[in-house]
Amino acid sequence: MFLLFLSACNAAAAAAAADDDGLEIFILSGQSNMSGRGGLQSKRGADGSMHKVWDGIVPQECDAEPGSILRLTATLEWEEAHDPLHHDIDTAKPTGVGPGLVFAASLLRSRDSVAKSEEKQPRKKPAIGLVPCAVGGTTMSEWKKGQFLYDRMIQRTKVAIEKGGTLKALLWYQGESDTTSNALGASFGSKLATFLQDVRTDLQSPDFPIIQVGIQWGHHPHPAILEEVRQAQRAAADPSKHVYIVDALGLPLQSDNLHLTTEAQTTLGLMLVEKYNIHFLSS
C-alpha cells in the first residue's frame, strides 16, 4: 500500500514543540469515518439476521510502546489506547479502525527516529492522550455549541487537560451527513466556520491546530451538494490561522461507497501526521 514518509525536519520541528512531561492531547471528532468503520464485516447471527462486526485486524502502523498512547474513556478515565478507539463513544453502531491510533503511533515513531538520529534520549511516557468524540451519522447542526455532542467534546477535552495534558490539535472528519439535502449543503460553510471559532474560544486556545479531512462519497446521489460541502471545507482551511485540510478523495472505500477501508484509514492517519508536523515547520 501507499506509505507516507515524514521528512526528518518536520518530525524534528514537531518533537521540539512537544512538552517533556504530561500528555499531549489530540481530539478525535466528527462522524463515522473518524470514529472508524475500517474492518467491519457482515456476519450472520444465530437468529439468521445479519449484523456488522469488526474483523479484529489492527494495522501494524498502530504498534507503539506499551503505555505510550492513552485514550479517554466514556467515563473520563485514561486507559491504554486500542482499536476500536470509539467503542464506548459511538455506541449506536459497531466501530472498527479509524485514523486516530495510526496517527498517534506514527507521530511517536517519527519523533523516536529523530531522537535516535540526533543521539537524544527518547521521550518520557506516556506521551499521547487521545480524546475520542466522533459519532456516526451526525450533521453540523448536531455539533453546534449548546448541543450534546459539542458540549460533551468540550467537557471531555477539558477533563483531559485537567488531568495533566496539553492540548495539541483537533482532528476533524465530518460532512457526509450534510450532503443529503440542498439546505444542509448550503448552510454547511457558515456552520463549520462558527464551529471552528467556538471550539477555539471554549478551549481558550485561539491558535491550536485544527486539521479537517476533506470528505468523499462514491456514486453520491447528489454530487453537486457533495462538491458544495467539499468547497466549504477547502474555504475554511487557512494555514495562517492554523486550520488545515487533508483530502480523503481517492482513498479506498468499502462496498457502501462511504466508509474508508482499514487500508485507507491507515493512509489517512499518516497523512494527518504529515500535516501536523508541517504545521510546526511553518509556524
Choose the catalytic residue: 86, 242, 259, 279: 259
* CB burial string 146-160: b at 16+ within 10 A, e below: eeebbeebbebbeeb
Is residue 192 within 8 Å of residue 227, measured between CB atoms?
no
Choose the catalytic residue: 82, 238, 256, 282: 256
Active site residue 42: no
Beta strand spans in 46-173 (E) = 50-54, 69-72, 78-80, 128-132, 165-173
Non-local CB neighbours of 90 within 8 Å, separated by 6+ positions: 32, 35, 132, 134, 135, 136
Choose the catalytic residue: 32, 35, 106, 205: 32
Helix axes 262-282, 8-17, angle to 10 degrees: 70
Is residue 204 within 8 Å of residue 166, measured between CB atoms?
no
Active site residue 259: yes
Q: In whole angstroms, what is the distance from residue 8 CA to residue 72 CA?
A: 30
Q: In whole angstroms, what is the distance from residue 255 CA to residue 77 CA?
A: 36
Is residue 30 within 8 Å of residue 174, measured between CB atoms?
yes
Active site residue 279: no
* Cell triple for 193: 466556520
Active site amino acids: 32, 256, 259
